Structure 1
């Protein structure tokens, strides 16, 4: 086994562990690291394939806690937001949107970690707003996750529901991304071979993340998510 395959397996194991533990982060962890051992188009295609499998597994693990009503609202709103994102991509500088979102995520995470009361965002309109923002960011920069993660945390979803709801939303988004890459011819035999070779590493990462999550009480889980939000926000600002 060559060094590229070993590095790819280790990266995807870490990414799967992160997604299994927190409910998100697979692309955030894997894309920067994979782009160091393969071309960006190759990494994008591989993550498009791997994401589907990881999201299906985590959704299945937490399927009993899935809340369809808010997820359906998020998905429908995101579909409306995608064309808006395409327009924004042409009209506004990338740095404005990404830095603005990064500042919002970091500020929210730091504020929540301070222990001060947070808005609960219980009204249905907030779900539509989060989904619309997610779709717009997905259409513009393929970064649809942050608004939904923030929304789920503000709603106070329990850990299992948080993970199940996010996977359902991500799965709808990932399916569209996968289909687009497949139709464009970006996913070939080499991508499938890389994904197949990484299955044991992905399984190990998923198992380890699931086991680690069992030792996280809800309050600590929420802190882990908040720290991840701060890191994600700082990364977008950087």
Structure 2
């Protein structure tokens, strides 16, 4: 299901998978697992959407998030898991509430706004693997079209996730259990992403799908 949602909207994998996986795995294993699986979804989506990506337009966003990602990984190591789980739940609720309002918050100085958005996204990715909500809200608020939204968000997430994985590796978070679960979940994940990519081509009202998520 999480892979399907990601293939359909280009984000939401962590929003769906994190609450469920934490029932089964410790948070310090769940977060690295979700980030590694997210990279797989990013690559799968970019294979058909890279032509619409404008990395030059979002480079400030990328650099800001990369700078914050190691701090997020450090928070995962030092902050109590129960606190991070509460933060995860609050983020999901807040994000859902904002989507349900249907409101957008366009910003005139887009490049300047990329800095705080990127920092927030990097911190969230390293600590609870949820980099998508701040960036998705910002890009949708700027009136970004469906193709550009998918491509830019996916390219951004791919870069950030790779850097975050490096931080996890340096922090000793990529243990044997994480790698084992990663290995056997990839095929199922790819099947879900493939179905989501196919479905989005038949979806005329892209924003409705995002809202329902």
**RMSD of the alignment, in Å?**
3.2
Q: Distance in 2 between matches of 1:177 and 1:153?
A: 24
1:112 and 2:98 aligned:
no
Quote the residue 2:134 is aligned against. Answer: 147
Between the two proteins, the alignment pairs up a number of residues equal to: 205
Quote the residue 1:197 is aligned against. Answer: 184
Quote the residue 2:41 is aligned against. Answer: 54
Give, in angstroms, the shift of residue 138 of structure 1: 4.4
Conserved 8 A contact 1:17-1:205 = yes
Conserved 8 A contact 1:134-1:145 = yes
Conserved 8 A contact 1:48-1:174 = yes
Conserved 8 A contact 1:70-1:127 = no
Give, in angstroms, the shift of residue 33 of structure 1: 1.1
Determine which structure has more spread, i.e. the larger CA radius of gyration: 1
CA deviations on 1:146-195 (whole Å, 9 max, x unpaired) are 21111110122222221111112212221122112222333234433322
Q: Distance in 1 between matches of 2:120 and 2:175?
A: 32
Q: 1:82 to 1:44 in 2, by over 3 A?
A: closer
Secondary structure of the structure 1 residue equivalent to 2:102: helix
Quote the residue 1:165 is aligned against. Answer: 152
Conserved 8 A contact 1:65-1:160 = yes
Quote the residue 1:226 is aligned against. Answer: 211
Secondary structure of the structure 2 residue equivalent to 1:146: helix
Secondary structure of the structure 2 residue equivalent to 1:37: coil
Q: Distance in 2 between matches of 1:128 and 1:144?
A: 14
1:64 and 2:55 aligned:
no
Quote the residue 2:23 is aligned against. Answer: 36
Quote the residue 1:11 is aligned against. Answer: none
Q: 1:213 to 1:100 in 2, by over 3 A?
A: closer
Conserved 8 A contact 1:35-1:43 = yes
CA deviations on 1:55-95 (whole Å, 9 max, x unpaired) are 111122210110113321211222455588789x99xx988
Conserved 8 A contact 1:135-1:144 = yes
CA deviations on 1:98-134 (whole Å, 9 max, x unpaired) are 858954x455423327xxxx45335332333422332
Structure 2 residue runs without a partner (length 5+): none
